[in-house]
Structure 1
């Protein structure tokens, strides 16, 4: 209300409908991406003021603001490979491998318990990721090897990835630290799991170490997983199930991110596609997924 009063140099209650509409239109033109929330505060605040003063307010409506749909950031397979190579700890390699190779959300990778790993069936049971639905996603042989090694070394009790208050989870390479000083993030959640901020810190830090200039978040790996599957010719229904989407429309958004030049699966060979599980494998021969096992 103060901004409105200063703009016209008069009390808001003394403005006529056309002045208010002109003001809202001017606000809309100031930015390419005007805030719907700001408009709501302006309109509802003025509406409340006029109603309190017993003045007409029915002319006040929210202006139509076009919704800007941003495409998700997608990493190339080579960038995924560089992240895996840049991670010094097996724990961090597995974090990246599970989030990307299984299309997991940050919460889902943190929630993995030992009982959710079925190495015989080569499946990961994702328990109530987002919403009430569980799902199964395939585990590659390379991930299984790495997971077995990690479990033998770390001997976790319940959760696969536990926080450690005596060790910094962001200590990716002690010989060449990425930043000085102690991490501001606690490595241990209230129930002993890896903390959400800790996982996010690891992903962002390793992506920078890998020389990736894109803005990389934990969800970027999941976006890349879905896009690479679709580029490999996996059906959108299968991708929907692997991602745990309730609505097919959520999965269809990834169609806008597909590469113009789709690769031919038959030319690459179905065996290569299956080796990493549902088409997740690296384009170049030197980008072998053995890195998933930390070898």
Structure 2
């Protein structure tokens, strides 16, 4: 049996390794410090540290079929694309008063950076940062010139009137979220989305008071931080509410304190009516979507009133064609529910499954296999909808969630009782579902303004 070959790609400060599943090879990769499996891209991500590429070449030898080493590093910072050549250094003076240094692997320059007090390696973004001073900047410039490298220098633009979020680059001893905080979230079975939201929010809070230990933080700091979010960070009311909830979770669940009300000005959530599409607009979007898989995705979301995360988690077994229902497992609030399965959606799904042959999830990514099924990405679904919107010329502020709002509104306009709509959407409170009574235009044509009855 012919052995499958290995693909190695070197991009700036990381090595991308694609290889077939093999226990011996996996153990070798795991022996390399900081190597990790990228489940979205379906490859191994290995830092391009000294000797790592040589180790990989030596181990796999002739099994390596493709070896690419890119001449340029491409990074995106504050929405701006930067391309750095193999022998170039980009120095960016950040708004927080630190210097970001981005370059390909260079042992000499790395050694220079490590002589500067409070230097930091950002493993997520793959760049170095040091405190800004004219002295440090001149020293770095001199060394770059000595190494025969080219340099680009830029400054981030300040956002008028808004203080940026505290980041690991802003303070030398940035505190990470305590492990017990994350473990308690997991223990209480908080959703993956809530954990991803709470952790950075709580980190911002504890680093706002970087000189105060966690044990000494209390109500006074919560009040001060809340005012800071509103007056300086100018965050939305929903962001402020979630930040306060993340802090309350620490005091009440991690510390085990009594549940209490912190006397801060918790904002009233802005009452904004959601955007909805007309039935004609939904029809136009679906007609403009020619790809069978893409059409099946949009039809399933709209016809069943699904959230985008619920759609990606759907498995083939969740489609019940006998009862004409879709089972939504562990949706928002950790609740299971059933929603309706449209006959026309079922027909499209049967064609799609016959053509694409998904393994486990109803909709799977390109890298999905029987052994490692991969869910379809939410960003790809958003791209599908945006393409359709552009094709039909709809200018409304539409997201994938708009299809869910439209589903509920159209049901209400067709006479479906609000209690049934509440059940289909999985709303805990009927008040949440009642918002659609403010959106529907049904009956407006029967209402006459009193002005029209005046004798003018």
Query: Which interval holds the TM-score relative to the shorter structure?
Result: 0.5 to 0.7
Aligned to 1:86: 288
CA 1:65–1:111: 2 relative to 1, 3 Å: closer
RMSD of Structure 2 on Structure 1 (CA):
3.1
In 2: Cα distance, 1:224 partner to 1:68 partner? 21
Deviation at 1:260, TM superposition (A): 4.2
Question: Does residue 195 of the first structure (1) align with residue 385 of the second (2)?
Answer: no
Equivalent of 1:71 in 257, 262, 273? 273
Pair 1:95-2:277 in alignment: no
8 A Cα contact 1:101 1:225, kept in partner: yes
In structure 2, the CA distance between the partners of 1:67 and 1:91, relative to structure 1 (3 Å rule), is same
Per-residue Cα deviation, 1:203-254 (whole angstroms, up to 9, x for no partner): 2221222211001111000000111111111111000000011111111111
**Counterpart contact for 2:328–2:338, Cα < 8 Å:** yes
Which of these residues, 352, 356, 360, is aligned with residue 150 of structure 1?
Answer: 352
Correspondence for 1:50: none
Return the alpha-carbon distance in structure 1 between the equivalents of residues 238 and 308 of structure 2: 28
Structure 1 unaligned runs (5+)?
4-23, 42-60, 167-189, 264-295
What residue number does 2:310 align with? 108
Q: Is the 8 A contact 1:74 1:220 kept in 2?
A: yes
1:243 and 2:445 are equivalent in the alignment: no
Take 2:404 and 2:425, find their aligned partners in 1: how far apart are those partners?
8
Which structure carries more helix by proportion? Answer: 1
Report the Cα distance in structure 2 between the residues aligned to 1:132 and 1:34, rounded to whole angstroms: 25
What TM-score comes out, normalization by structure 2 length?
0.39
The structure-2 alpha-carbon separation of the partners of 1:235 and 1:262, relative to structure 1 and needing over 3 Å to count, comes to farther
Deviates more, 1:194-203 or 1:214-223: 194-203
In structure 2, the CA distance between the partners of 1:260 and 1:153, relative to structure 1 (3 Å rule), is closer
Measured after TM superposition, the shift of residue 68 of structure 1 is 3.1
Q: TM-score, normalised by structure 1?
A: 0.59
Describe how 1:171-182 pairs up with structure 2 within 5 A. none
Asked if 1:225 corresponds to 2:407, the answer is yes
Q: Which residue of 1 aligns with 2:327?
A: 125
Cα distance in structure 2, aligned partners of 1:36 and 1:199: 25
Is the CA contact 1:231–1:262 (under 8 Å) kept in the aligned structure 2? no
1:135 is displaced (CA, Å) by 1.2
Task: Indicate if the aligned counterparts of 1:124 and 1:139 stay in contact, CA closer than 8 A.
Answer: yes
Give secondary structure in 2 for the equivalent of 1:193. coil
* Contact 1:36 1:65 (8 Å CA) reproduced: no
1: CA distance, partners of 2:322 / 2:375: 25
For 1:141 and 1:262, the matched residues in 2 are separated by 31
Cα distance in 1, alignment partners of residues 238 and 344 from structure 2 = 46
Alpha-carbon shift at residue 165 of structure 1 (Å): 4.5
**Structure 1 residue 197: deviation in Å?**
1.2
Aligned to 1:255: 437
Does the C-alpha gap of structure 1 residues 133 and 66 become closer, same or farther in structure 2, counting only changes over 3 Å? closer
| Deviation for aligned residue 1:77 | 0.5
The 3-state SS of whatever aligns with 1:224 is helix
Summarize the alignment of residues 49-60 of structure 1 with structure 2, pairs less than 5 Å apart.
none
Which has the higher relative contact order, 1 or 2, with Cα contacts under 8 A spaced 6 or more apart?
1
CA distance, structure 2, for counterparts of residue 150 and residue 124 of structure 1: 17
Aligned residue pairs: how many? 194
